[in-house]
């Protein structure tokens, strides 16, 4: 399995030379696309961490049908092709979309902007973090949380003083997976944000254009 996973990397290394890599890096589209990718993924991760952590905590602590339904909708982007996610975002935020038409009334346009890049990245990468964070929170022993309450901590205090520090390795692993997925996002970005140099052209899109 390890060898199979290494085959694409070996193929790239054997088919190109260091001089070709250096030439590619010097292309005018490289640095703007790299900088845009780093900027947008940072914004995406801020949104995912701020919104996804409390959601994962809620899903981990609740076994109701409502929580199960929420888990289902969180996982849906994992099985949908990214292009379908992009089309869904376009139907939602486009000029005739149910949310986009309302935003247009306020003079706000989302598709084919840098904001669209961030939204596309959040949609396809957030489930990776939420799944990992939920699993990490579920591994906490209930007695630890109960002791925190008996010591006088509020539920919020228990979360920040006990649950969050003990679950940090799982949260960091999920954040790394989510960031990597956001950095490599292609399909949803292309359909929802377009391929505009300096505005929506991230590294995957720039690589595609350079082929």
Q: Could you give the domains of the chain?
A: 30-210 (1.10.3720.10)
Structure tokens at 61: 């602590």
Q: What is the pLDDT of residue 144?
A: 79
Q: What is the pLDDT of residue 149?
A: 79
Digit-coded pLDDT (tens) for 98-107: 898 898 888 8
Structure tokens at 1: 């399995």
Q: What is the pLDDT of residue 81?
A: 92
Digit-coded pLDDT (tens) for 156-189: 888 898 899 999 999 999 999 999 999 999 999 9
Q: What is the pLDDT of residue 7?
A: 82
Q: What is the pLDDT of residue 93?
A: 94
Positions of the chain with pLDDT lower than 70, given as ranges: none
102 close to 158: Cβ distance less than 8 angstroms: no
Give CA separation, 15 vs 8, 84, 95, 205, in Å: 11, 33, 44, 21
* Tally of CB atoms within 10 A around 168: 11
Q: What is the pLDDT of residue 49?
A: 97
């Amino acid at each position: 399995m390890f060898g199979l996973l290494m085959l694409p990397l070996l193929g790239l290394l054997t088919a190109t030379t260091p001089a070709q890599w250096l030439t590619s890096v010097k292309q005018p589209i490289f640095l703007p696309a790299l900088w845009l990718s780093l900027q947008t993924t940072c914004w995406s991760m801020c949104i995912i961490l701020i919104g996804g952590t409390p959601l994962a905590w809620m899903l981990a602590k609740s076994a109701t049908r409502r929580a199960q339904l929420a888990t289902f909708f969180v996982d849906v982007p994992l099985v949908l092709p990214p292009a379908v996610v992009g089309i869904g975002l376009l139907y939602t935020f486009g000029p005739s979309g149910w949310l986009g038409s309302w935003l247009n009334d306020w003079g706000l346009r989302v598709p084919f902007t840098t904001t669209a890049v961030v939204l596309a990245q959040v949609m396809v990468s957030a489930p990776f973090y939420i799944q990992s964070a939920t699993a990490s929170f579920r591994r906490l022993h209930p007695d630890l949380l109960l002791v925190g309450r008996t010591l006088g901590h509020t539920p919020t205090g228990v979360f920040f003083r006990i649950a969050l520090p003990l679950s940090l390795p799982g949260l960091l692993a999920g954040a790394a997976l989510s960031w990597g997925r956001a950095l490599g996002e292609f399909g949803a970005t292309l359909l929802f944000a377009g391929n505009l140099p300096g505005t929506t052209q991230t590294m995957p899109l720039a690589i595609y254009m350079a082929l």
